[in-house]
Amino acid sequence: CRSKSGSKLLRQWFLRPTQDLAVLQRRQEVIVFFTSPRHSDILKTLQTSLRNFRNIPSLLRRMSLSNTKVTDWQSLYKTVCSALCIRDTVRNLPQSIQVFHDITEGFSDDLHNMCNLISRVVDFEASLEENRFTIKPNIDPAIDEKKRRMMGLSDFLTDVARRELESLDPQIPSCCVIYIPLIGFLLTVPRLPSMVEKEDFEMEGLEFMFLSEDRLHYRSQRTRELDNLLGDLHCDIRDMETAVMTQLQNTILESSPSLYQVLGLTAELDCLMAMSSASQEYSYTHPKLTNHREITVTQGRHPLLELCSPVYVANSFHSSESDGRIKIITGPNSSGKSIYLKQVGLIVFMALIGSDVPAKEAQIGLVDGIFTRMQSRESVSLGLSTFMIDLNQMAVALNSSTGNSLVLIDEFGKGTNTVDGLSLLAASVSHWLKRSPVAVPCVLLATNFHSLLQLDLLPTSALLSFLTLETAIDGDELVFLYQLKEGVCQSSYAANIATLAGLPAGLVRRAVEVSDLYRTGKPIKRTDKSSDEQSRRCSSVVEK
C-alpha cells in the first residue's frame, strides 16, 4: 500500500476475512478494473497521489491540543490536495463500480474549501524560514501593518542611532539601536578599555541593562519612546498569527468528519490497488466465489514459495459437495506435502479477503473458518508440551469445524508413542466420517503413518480419498517430482532422505538392515565386537 491508512486497513482485512459475497464482489470489481492493461496509467496516477497521504488522525489529535508544527500544516495540505486529485480522477471512471461511486459522492465540498483556506492563509515558505506558523499578506490588515513597520525598522533605527550618538560622550566612537523581542528597543555601544568595573558602565541619561560580547546595552529616553510608540512588534505579530492559526484549526477540526470519511475511502482504494498490482506482477487469476461448499483450484501455486524457488510445480485441488471431502496425503519427507496444504489454505484465504489468487483457475465456496494443526510454537509461558499443543489445536478443529470449514492437518500424532498417535489420528478421521455428508468439513491431512491405510483403520467412505506426491529413483538417489496424484505411498524412503541430508553411508546401511530385520520379524543382532565375542562363547557352550 502507498499510504499508512491503507496498510492499516489491509492488515485488518488479513485478520478478518469475510463471507459476505457483496463485500467480496465490491472488492473484486475494482481489482478486475485495475488489472486491465488499459488502466495501468490510471493506477499509477492514483498511487502517486496516495503517496502524499500522511497520518491524518495523529495530526488532527495534535491540532486539537494546539500542538501543530509547520510540517503538520504541510502534511495536511498535501493530503487534502492529493485527495482532490483522486476525486477528480475517479469522477471520470465508471460509476457503476461501487467504490468509485462512493469516492465521487463521499468527497464533500468541505475538502475543496479546506484546501483553498490553507492555501490562502498559510505562507509555507516564510513558515519554514522562521520555523513557526506564518500567514500570507492581505489576511489581517493589523498584522500587515505591524509587519510593514518591522520591515522599515532597520533604516528607522539607524537614523535614531545617529541622533543618539550626537548626545553621547565623544569618546564613544559608535552606537546602534536594536530591537530584542520581549525586551524592546535598546541602545548599544562598544565597551571602552577604561570601562572595567560596573560603576564605569554608568552614563548620564542612560539606564544600564546588561553586557554582552563587549557591547553595553542601555535604555534611553528615545528607546522608551519607541517602546511606547511601536510596542513589542515581534511578539504582537506572533500572538496575532497564533490567533489566526487557532481560528484555522477550529475550522479544520469542524470538518474532520469529512477528512475521516476521505481516509476510509482512500484506504480501501489503496488496498485494492495494491492487490491489483500484486495480481499483475505475479500472474494471479480472478477467483469465482460461490455459495456452495465446492472448492476447485486448477494449477494452484504457493504465493510465497514461487517467489523464492527457481522452479515451482503447480498442483490442483478439488473438493466437491459430497465426494472426497477428506483427503489423506502420504509421501516421503520433503516431498511437498506441507507446502501443498499451505498452498490450498493460502489460496482460500486470499479469496476470502477479495484478492486474486495464484492459480490458473479457481472456484471458491464460502468458508466459515480455516482450522490448522500444522505448527506448534512452544513457549515456557504456556506450560504445555508440544503434543499437548497439538491436541489443543486438533480439539478446536474437531469441535468447531462445520460442513463449510477447511481443516489442514500436518503430521498429527508424531509427538507421542507411535501406536497412540496413530490411534488418535484414525479416531479423528472416523469422527468426521460419522457426521452427515453436509456436516463433513473439507479436510487435507498429510501423514507419514502408512499403517493408517495398511492396517485398514479407516471406514470405507466416498468422502475419503487418498493422494500422494510423485517421486522417482535414479540409481540410489531419490528424486522429488512434487506432482500430486491419486494413490498411496508405501514407503517413507527414510534411508534415501537420510543420504540426501548427509548422514554417513555406514550409518544409513545399518539403518536399512535393522529396518528390514524388524519388518520381517527376524532377530536384530548387535554389530560391535563385544557382542560377536559373546555370541561365539554362547555357541561353544551349546556345542559342548
If one looks up domain 283-503 in CATH, what number appears? 3.40.50.300
Could you give the C-alpha distances from 22 to 12, 18, 27, 290, in angstroms and in order?
18, 10, 9, 11
Q: What is the CATH class of 143-236?
A: mainly alpha
Cell 508440551 belongs to residue: 385
Q: Residue 531: what pLDDT? A: 59
Handedness of CA 447, 450, 454, 457 (dihedral sign): negative
**DSSP annotation of 476:** T
Q: What is the pLDDT along the chain (544 residues), one digit of tens a residue?
A: 899 999 999 999 999 999 999 999 999 999 999 999 999 999 999 999 999 998 899 999 999 988 889 999 999 999 999 999 999 999 999 999 999 999 999 888 888 999 999 999 999 998 888 888 999 998 888 888 888 877 766 677 787 788 878 788 788 888 888 877 778 888 888 888 888 787 778 888 888 888 887 888 888 888 888 877 776 677 788 889 889 999 999 999 999 999 999 999 999 999 999 999 999 999 999 999 998 899 999 999 999 999 998 888 999 999 987 778 999 999 888 888 999 999 999 999 999 999 999 999 999 998 999 999 987 666 665 667 788 888 999 999 999 999 999 999 998 888 788 888 899 999 999 999 999 989 999 999 999 888 888 788 888 888 999 999 988 877 777 888 889 999 888 777 777 777 777 788 788 788 877 877 777 777 877 776 555 666 666 666 666 5
CA dihedral 77, 79, 85, 90 (to 10 degrees): -150
Pairing mode of beta strands 464-474, 326-330: parallel
Render pLDDT for 370-415 as a digit per residue (tens, 0 to 9).
Answer: 999 987 666 665 667 788 888 999 999 999 999 999 999 998 888 7
SS (H, E, C) 427-439: HHHHHHHCCCHHH
For the stretch 510-524, pLDDT in tens is 887 787 777 777 787
**pLDDT for position 284:** 96
Q: What is the pLDDT of residue 24?
A: 95
Q: Which CATH class is domain 4-136+241-280?
A: mainly alpha
> Could you please report the per-residue DSSP string of 122-155?
B-HHHHHHHTS--BPTTS-HHHHHHHHHHHTHHH
Asked whether 339 and 302 are in contact (CB, 8 A), the reply is yes
- Per residue in 286-325, pLDDT (tens digit) is 999 998 899 999 999 999 999 998 888 999 999 987 778 9
Q: What pLDDT score does 355 carry?
A: 96
Would you kindly state where each structural domain of the chain is located, as residue ranges?
A: 4-136+241-280, 143-236, 283-503
pTM, 2 dp:
0.81
Nearest to 19 by CA among 402, 281, 318: 402
Exposed, middle or buried by CB within 10 Å (0-12, 13-18, 19+), for 266? buried
Nearest to 278 by CA among 34, 491, 4, 530: 34
The distance from CA 512 to its chain's CA centroid, rounded to whole angstroms, is: 49
Q: With left for phi above 0 and alpha for psi between -120 and 50, is residue 377 left, alpha or beta?
A: beta
| List of residues 6+ apart from 498 with CB closer than 8 A | 507, 508, 511
pLDDT at 210: 86
* Contact predicate 273/46, CB 8 Å: yes
Q: What is the structure's pLDDT at 104?
A: 92
Q: Are 430 and 460 in contact (CB under 8 A)?
A: no
d(CA 470, CA 481): 5
143-236 and 283-503: same fold? Answer: no
